[in-house]
Structure 1
Amino acid sequence: MPSGQPRNVLLVVVDQWRADFVPALGADFLKTPNLDRLCREGVTFRNHITNTVPCGPARASLLTGLYLMNHRAVQNTVPLDARHSNLAKELRRIGYDPALIGYTTTTPDPRQTGSLDPRFTTLGDLMEGFRAVGAFEPSMDGYFGWLAQKGHALPENREDIWLPEGEDHLPGATARPSRIPADCSDTAYFTERALTYLKGRNGKPWFLHLGYYRPHPPFIAPAPYNAMYRPEDMPPLHRAATWREEAAQHPLLDFYLRGISQGSFFHGAGGAATELDAGSVAQMRATYSGMISEVDAALGQVIAHLDATGEWKNTLVIFTSDHGEQLGDHYLLGKVGYHDESFRIPLVIKDPDAPDAAGRIESAFTESVDVMPTILEWLGGEAPRACDGHSLLPLVAGETPAAWRRHLFYEYDFRDVFYSRPEDDLGLSMDECSLCVVQDQHWKYVHFAALPPLLFDLEKDPHCFTDLAADPAHAAVVRDYAQRALSHRMSHAERTLTHFRATPHGLEERAP
Structure 2
Amino acid sequence: MSYLNIFRRDALRAILAAGVAPFLASRGKADEGRKPNIILFLSDDQKWDVVGYEGHPLAITPNIDALAKQGVAFKNSFVTTPICASSRATLMTGTYFAKHRFNFGTPKLSEKFWPELFPNLLKQAGYKTALIGKLGVWFEDGLWGELGRKIGWNTEDSGLFDVFVPVGRTPYISEDDDGVERHSLDKIERHAREFLAAQDKDQPFCLIVSFNVPHITESMDGQGRYQIAVEEEGSLPGAKVPVSRLSDPAIFNALPDVLTPPIMAGEEAQKWLGTDPTNEFVDYFRLVAGMDRVVGSILQEAKADGFGDDTVVMFTSDNGLALGDRRLSGKWTHFDESVRVPLVIFDPRDQSRAGTRPEEFVLNVDLAPTILDFAGVEIPESYQGHSLVPFVEGAYPATWRTEFYGEHDVKLGQRIPDWIGVRDADYVFAEYADGKKPVYFLTDEHSDADEIVNLADDPAYASVLEAYRKKAHDYQALYAR
Q: TM-score, normalised by structure 2?
A: 0.81
1:307 aligns with 2:303: yes
Q: In structure 2, how many angstroms separate the alpha carbons of the residues matched to 1:130 and 1:77?
A: 24
1:457 aligns with 2:463: no
Query: How do residues 470-485 of structure 1 correspond to structure 2 at under 5 angstroms?
Result: 470-485=457-472
Q: Tell me which of 454, 474, 489 is aligned to 2:476.
A: 489
1:448 aligns with 2:432: yes
Contact between 2:126 and 2:204, CA under 8 Å: does it hold in 1? no
Question: 1:463 Cα deviation (Å)?
Answer: 2.1
Counterpart amino acid of residue 52 in structure 1 = T
Larger deviation, residues 22-31 vs 319-328: 22-31
Task: Rate the CA distance shift 1:387–1:437 in 2: closer, same or farther, 3 A.
Answer: same
Q: Which residue of 1 aligns with 2:184?
A: 186
Q: In structure 1, how many angstroms separate the alpha carbons of the residues matched to 2:55 and 2:245?
A: 16
1:254 aligns with 2:238: no
Q: In structure 1, how many angstroms separate the alpha carbons of the residues matched to 2:124 and 2:354?
A: 31
Q: In structure 2, how many angstroms separate the alpha carbons of the residues matched to 1:311 and 1:390?
A: 27
Q: Tell me which of 194, 197, 217 is aligned to 2:195.
A: 197
Q: Which residue of 1 aligns with 2:83?
A: 54
Q: For 2:357, what is the secondary structure of its paired residue? A: strand
Q: For 1:369, what is the secondary structure of its paired residue? A: helix
Q: Which residue of 2 aligns with 1:93?
A: 124
Q: Tell me which of 419, 423, 443 is aligned to 1:439.
A: 423
Question: 1:400 Cα deviation (Å)?
Answer: 3.0
Q: Which residue of 1 aligns with 2:209?
A: 210
Q: In structure 1, how many angstroms separate the alpha carbons of the residues matched to 2:253 and 2:145?
A: 40
Task: Rate the CA distance shift 1:227–1:213 in 2: closer, same or farther, 3 A.
Answer: farther
Q: In structure 2, how many angstroms separate the alpha carbons of the residues matched to 1:44 and 1:236?
A: 26
Counterpart amino acid of residue 246 in structure 2 = R
Larger deviation, residues 399-408 vs 313-322: 399-408
Q: Which residue of 2 aligns with 1:397?
A: 393
Structure 1: which 5+ runs fail to align? 153-183, 263-270, 424-432, 495-512
Q: What percent identity do the matched residue pairs reach?
A: 27
Query: How do residues 169-180 of structure 1 correspond to structure 2 at under 5 angstroms?
Result: none
Larger deviation, residues 307-316 vs 19-28: 19-28
Q: Which residue of 2 aligns with 1:266?
A: none
Alignment deviations for residues 25-73 of structure 1 (CA, whole Å, 9 cap, x no partner): 2325533221122112210011001111211111001121110100000
Contact between 1:318 and 1:347, CA under 8 Å: does it hold in 2? yes
Question: 1:108 Cα deviation (Å)?
Answer: 1.9
1:288 aligns with 2:293: no
Task: Rate the CA distance shift 1:281–1:45 in 2: closer, same or farther, 3 A.
Answer: farther
Structure 2: which 5+ runs fail to align? 1-29
Q: Which residue of 2 aligns with 1:230?
A: 237
Q: For 1:348, what is the secondary structure of its paired residue? A: strand
Contact between 1:56 and 1:76, CA under 8 Å: does it hold in 2? no
1:221 aligns with 2:226: yes
Q: In structure 1, how many angstroms separate the alpha carbons of the residues matched to 2:276 and 2:106?
A: 31
1:136 aligns with 2:136: no
Q: In structure 1, how many angstroms separate the alpha carbons of the residues matched to 2:452 and 2:197?
A: 51
Question: 1:352 Cα deviation (Å)?
Answer: 3.0
Counterpart amino acid of residue 343 in structure 2 = L
Q: In structure 2, how many angstroms separate the alpha carbons of the residues matched to 1:191 and 1:276?
A: 28
Q: Which residue of 2 aligns with 1:105?
A: 136
Q: In structure 1, how many angstroms separate the alpha carbons of the residues matched to 2:163 and 2:362?
A: 29
Q: In structure 2, how many angstroms separate the alpha carbons of the residues matched to 1:491 and 1:399?
A: 29
Q: Which residue of 2 aligns with 1:242?
A: 249
Alignment deviations for residues 187-223 of structure 1 (CA, whole Å, 9 cap, x no partner): 1110000011111113232111111221111353324
Q: Which residue of 2 aligns with 1:75?
A: 104
Counterpart amino acid of residue 90 in structure 2 = S
Alignment deviations for residues 4-26 of structure 1 (CA, whole Å, 9 cap, x no partner): 34521101111111111122223
Task: Rate the CA distance shift 1:327–1:375 in 2: closer, same or farther, 3 A.
Answer: same
Q: For 1:459, what is the secondary structure of its paired residue? A: coil
Q: Which residue of 1 aligns with 2:33?
A: 4
Task: Rate the CA distance shift 1:392–1:234 in 2: closer, same or farther, 3 A.
Answer: farther
Q: In structure 2, how many angstroms separate the alpha carbons of the residues matched to 1:275 and 1:370?
A: 34
Q: In structure 1, how many angstroms separate the alpha carbons of the residues matched to 2:139 and 2:467?
A: 39
Counterpart amino acid of residue 256 in structure 2 = H
Counterpart amino acid of residue 209 in structure 1 = I
1:422 aligns with 2:415: yes
Counterpart amino acid of residue 229 in structure 1 = L
Counterpart amino acid of residue 427 in structure 2 = W
Q: In structure 2, how many angstroms separate the alpha carbons of the residues matched to 1:149 and 1:69?
A: 43
Contact between 2:172 and 2:184, CA under 8 Å: does it hold in 1? no
Alignment deviations for residues 471-501 of structure 1 (CA, whole Å, 9 cap, x no partner): 101112112222322343344342xxxxxxx
Task: Rate the CA distance shift 1:485–1:353 in 2: closer, same or farther, 3 A.
Answer: farther
Q: In structure 1, how many angstroms separate the alpha carbons of the residues matched to 2:172 and 2:49?
A: 31
Over the aligned positions, Cα root-mean-square deviation in angstroms equals 3.0
Q: TM-score, normalised by structure 1?
A: 0.76
Q: Tell me which of 55, 61, 66 is aligned to 2:95.
A: 66
Q: Which residue of 2 aligns with 1:505?
A: none
Contact between 2:83 and 2:332, CA under 8 Å: does it hold in 1? yes
